[in-house]
Amino acid sequence: MSEFIDILTHGRRLKAAVKELSVQELEEVQEKLAKVIADRREEEAELKKLEAEKQRKIDELKKAMAEAGIDASELLEGEAKPAAKTKRKRAPKPPKYAIVDANGERITWTGQGRMPNALKNALNKGDSLETYLINK
């Protein structure tokens, strides 16, 4: 789409791109482009109208607050701020199994997720998983 916009906004490139079109086809393109422009103007006018209405309401509220002697900070005072949607991190599960690997390092496993290689190798050799339970 960027290349299309480059062609459309550059005089010589546009002229080169439409050189094979007849005058009638160019006039049809012009009519369609004029319709697009008119629609865009209407959209922008509507947005300006909505913004003006919003600003008018804001001004009314400010005036009413000033007449009542209310400051904007007083409105927010004591209000609970909306809680940020954060996931609570759960406490990690305690290890259920432990094994000492060939390097003498104690490796623990909760019983969930991937099984440590040291424990997997011990089970492949014929050991029982229950022998590595921490709390028997």
- What lies within 8 Å, CB to CB, of 115 at 6+ separation is 109, 123
pLDDT of 81 reads 61
What value does the mean pLDDT take over residues 117-135? 89
Residue 2: both structure tokens together? 């960027």
Task: Judge: domain 97-132, CATH 4.10.430.
Answer: yes
H helices of 72-132, in order, are 72-76, 117-124
What value does the mean pLDDT take over residues 72-94? 75
What value does the mean pLDDT take over residues 27-47? 95
**Cα separation of 98 and 110, whole Å?**
9
Q: Is the pLDDT of residue 94 over 70?
A: yes
Q: Which amino acid is at 52?
A: A
pLDDT band at 103 (very low <50, low <70, confident <90, very high): confident
Q: Which amino acid is at 73?
A: S
pLDDT of 80 reads 59
Q: Is the pLDDT of residue 132 over 80?
A: yes
Q: Is the pLDDT of residue 99 over 80?
A: yes
Distances (CA, A) of 70 to 59, 65, 83, 84, 86: 14, 5, 26, 28, 33
Distances (CA, A) of 108 to 93, 105, 116, 117: 11, 10, 8, 11
Burial 5-21 (b: 16+ CB within 10 A, else e): eeeeeeeeeeeeeeeee
Q: Is the pLDDT of residue 79 over 90?
A: no
Mean pLDDT of the chain: 88
Q: Is the pLDDT of residue 75 over 80?
A: no
Residue 99: CB atoms within 10 Å:
19
Q: Is the pLDDT of residue 73 over 90?
A: no
pLDDT of 78 reads 64
